[in-house]
Structure 1
């Protein structure tokens, strides 16, 4: 029988559990770096993601993502003006995890694109106004 402890903190509950059977619940766990091994959901895990896609996206954003206020300047009527807009980023080195994230975004109708970077990690950007509004309604800021 696993040992479980819960400690409530501001905005969350910290849950700790000790058992030798965690690999049954998380078959993706294994030795080595996660970006060097296959990360695929078992059928029962995909059923949970399909039933709770926003919770899945929220968990990924809160672990490996962020919401920021971006800005740019444009010349309007001869005058340079600064514009600010919110966007979400998600960065991961595992192409499998990126695929799980973006396929769930597609299921939810969220528009996204990847950024061109010179590093191994992939960053997904969500910047379209309607998509950011959906993310704000369902994901929100980290605690």
Structure 2
């Protein structure tokens, strides 16, 4: 659309404001009708005359009450499998959480959290190969997710704002659950022991959380510490990207508040 140039666009907007019909402006300036309609829409939006849905309130900008527990869960999902993107300068940014088709319950929980945090915005699911992207569009995503920035998460600092930390402190299990549901898993490990001269197999549940970002792993372990969960680093190939929870009492707490993906 910008290929037509600023002068052409300004002339079109002037004609439209004078009451000239879209089709007549398109013919006069040799511009596609859809482009003229878009220019008219953007001009009316800037002047506050655009019809449609009213301004959506933001907890950070307008003081709207934030659903803190769903937000804490959604924040954990965002740090794992979430991404905020823009398709162009004129599109509203969208928050996208990628959920595997193998876990439909997780996908439902993600959508429920999005709807609670953004009650005035539409939430949709976009099918991809082996997964679906659960998405919400909002102009206030950067207000609620200030950790967004250029590049990958592990290539930049990830630090919670004081107001975010207060929410995580108030709803730590929701935050842990979101992190585990994105970049974690509950598995059954096994080992063998010699008992009475006979080797026997023993199985035990274990939680893993894997994330390349040192900051995100630290947010996870710091929250586990506040909850009294015992954890250890599980280094693989020299990389300390895995956090393990295997002690019986800690696994029982994780089972009660997090559970396996479903």
TM-score normalized with structure 1 length: 0.90
Q: RMSD over aligned Cα, in angstroms?
A: 2.0
Contact 1:72-1:82 at 8 Å conserved across structures: yes
1:76-132: per-residue Cα shift (whole Å, max 9, x none)? 111010000001000000000000000000000000000122254610000000000
Contact 2:230-2:247 at 8 Å conserved across structures: yes
Are 2:164 and 1:39 equivalent residues in the alignment? no
Structure 2 residue aligned with 1:6:
none
What SS is found at the alignment partner of 2:221? helix
Structure 1 residue aligned with 2:251:
132
Are 2:77 and 1:77 equivalent residues in the alignment? no
What SS is found at the alignment partner of 1:84? strand
Structure 2 residue aligned with 1:111:
230
Structure 2 residue aligned with 1:27:
146
Moved over 3 A (4+): none
TM-score normalized with structure 2 length: 0.50
Bigger radius of gyration:
2
What SS is found at the alignment partner of 2:157? coil
Moved more, 62-71 or 117-126: 117-126
Moved more, 118-127 or 76-85: 118-127
The answer to which structure has the higher strand fraction is 1
Q: Distance in 2 between matches of 1:118 and 1:103?
A: 24
Contact 2:234-2:240 at 8 Å conserved across structures: no
Gapped regions of structure 2 (runs ≥ 5): 1-54, 57-91, 93-103, 115-122, 124-135
The answer to which structure has the higher helix fraction is 2
What SS is found at the alignment partner of 2:200? strand
Q: Distance in 1 between matches of 2:214 and 2:147?
A: 14
Gapped regions of structure 1 (runs ≥ 5): 4-9
Structure 1 residue aligned with 2:178:
59
Work out the number of aligned pairs and report it: 139
Contact 1:23-1:29 at 8 Å conserved across structures: yes
Q: How far off is 1:19 after superposition? A: 2.1
